[in-house]
Amino acid sequence: MSVEENMRERILEVLDFLADAGAQRAYQARAPSISVSNELFNIWDDCYPLQESALEHFTSNQLAALERFNETLEEVADATPVELPPLLLFMESQHWKRLNQAAERALNEVRSNGIRRP
């Protein structure tokens, strides 16, 4: 598997994690010293925007879905403090709910639009 294909898989993994409250709680339980609330934003920043060479592994509809998600994430980031509350408190907020729902939509859109292979 190429680096670009790995990046596609990483994007899917990150969206899946951002859409999965149970996985987030489990991660927080395994790593109590980590701010999982902040990690939600950091892991996306680690893989987006995509490198030019990875773009060919996504359809235009998938790229649009990723961009819409990124815009939502940035809006939520701008509306929240730099140091977020602990995960369980953050999960009660409208900000977390908006981020979670946007991740679910993006994940569904990327998965339903098939895989583009060069």
Confidence at 1, pLDDT banded by 50, 70, 90 = low
- Span between the terminal Cα atoms of the chain, in Å: 13
What are 21-62's pLDDT values in tens digits? Answer: 999 999 999 999 999 999 999 999 999 999 888 888 899 999
- What residue type is assigned to position 83 of the chain? E
Domain range spanning residue 86? 3-112
Name the band, by pLDDT with cuts 50, 70 and 90, for residue 117.
very low
User: Residue 6: what pLDDT?
Assistant: 85
| Residue bearing the bigger pLDDT, 117 or 77 | 77
pTM above 0.85, yes or no: yes
Within-domain flag for 105: yes
Which pLDDT belongs to residue 54? Answer: 86
Average pLDDT over every residue of 88-116: 92
Is the residue at 101 inside a domain? yes
List the one residue out of 44, 33, 52, 89 whose CA is nearest residue 71: 44
Q: What's the total number of domains in the chain?
A: 1
| Beta carbons within 8 Å of 13's beta carbon, 6+ residues apart | none
pLDDT of residue 112: 87
